Amino acid sequence: MANVGSPSGGPMPLHPFHGTEPRGLMAVLRSPLFEGRFGRMFRNLPPFLPSNEALDALARQMVEPEPQPGQDDTTGDNPDIPAGFTYVGQFVDHDLTFDPTSQLQRDNDPDALVDFRTPRFDLDSVYGRGPDDQPFLYENDGVHLLIGKNKAGEEDLPRNGKGRALLGDARNDENLIVSGLALGLLKYHNRVVDTPPLATLPAEKRFDEGRRIVRWHYQWAVVHDFLSRLVGNDVIENVLRPVSFKVPAGPEAKTINTLQVVLKFFHFSKRAFMPVEFSVGAYRFGHS
């Protein structure tokens, strides 16, 4: 492999790190559809180091006054976002990012850490790696997701003998509401694959088509319901810009309406990565 030229015209070293390079760079991903990377969007900016005075001021803003006797505590209410969207945000987070590594490994450079979720809205936290790689999440037909029963005989997440949920991401059982969201998606997938257009397909195609439909509905809900409430439609339309173009279709042209993704700061060469500025910074808002 040849060295890449530097701005001054001389060759650059293949390992342009002072001292030792970040640990973990040899953990090459097996596929762009399996896991992802963490990384930085604004790697040229210095780290933010707030003063003690600024931290004290922030802490004071986080203290809410106690309600008076007979007074409803409405200080945390948002008239535009129902409280349940807190847990939707938690579920979406589980679909995008997961770092189960030890504290020692977390000291690595973010560029060398593996995100055990794919950085896309593909519900890998529900489907896992599919019926071939994680068959314990599925019925024997490889089409339906497992549904369990609780002690009252009601539908529940599938569980092992110790009561631990069998899911693509175990965090989706960390509280009752997120657990209910996960169960709802399991049941929705099973309903979709049982609809007449899919029910007669071969098992593998039936599963793939059902998963595609569920993903599309989930993605639509995230963009048009969840994100629109958080950031507003103006921000969404600034990133996902509607465009139209014509294509030949027999004697006449057909108009195609689609979306063009316009990114100002998030740039990558081959694989999308999960920016730490988002996962451990900005999206703390959406998670809690």
> pTM for the full model?
0.72
Q: What's residue 192's pLDDT?
A: 98
Reduce the DSSP state of residue 83 to 3 states and report it. coil
- Rounded to whole angstroms, the Cα distance separating 169 from 92 reads 12
Residue 173 lies in a domain: yes
Residue 247 lies in a domain: no
Reduce the DSSP state of residue 275 to 3 states and report it. strand
Full domain range(s) for residue 98: 80-232+271-287
- The predicted-structure confidence for 109-149, as pLDDT tens digits, reads as follows 555 555 444 567 889 889 988 999 899 999 999 999 999 99
Residue 47 lies in a domain: no
Instruction: Read off the tokens for 127.
Output: 């489907």
Average pLDDT, the chain: 79
- Rounded to whole angstroms, the Cα distance separating 200 from 209 reads 12
Q: What's residue 73's pLDDT?
A: 66
Number of compact structural domains in the chain: 1
> What's the CATH code of the domain at 98?
1.10.640.10
Assess contact for 215 and 123: CB atoms under 8 A.
yes
Residue 191 lies in a domain: yes
Residue 8 lies in a domain: no
Q: Which of 236, 234, 258 is nearest to 246 (CA)?
A: 258
With a cut of 70, list the residues of the chain below it in pLDDT: 1-37, 73-76, 98-119, 268-271, 285-288
- Rounded to whole angstroms, the Cα distance separating 111 from 131 reads 30
Q: Is 24 left (phi over 0), alpha (psi -120 to 50) or beta?
A: left
Residue 199 lies in a domain: yes
Residue 122 lies in a domain: yes
Assess contact for 126 and 148: CB atoms under 8 A.
no
C-alpha angle 57-62-66 in degrees, rounded to nearest 5? 125
Residue 99 lies in a domain: yes
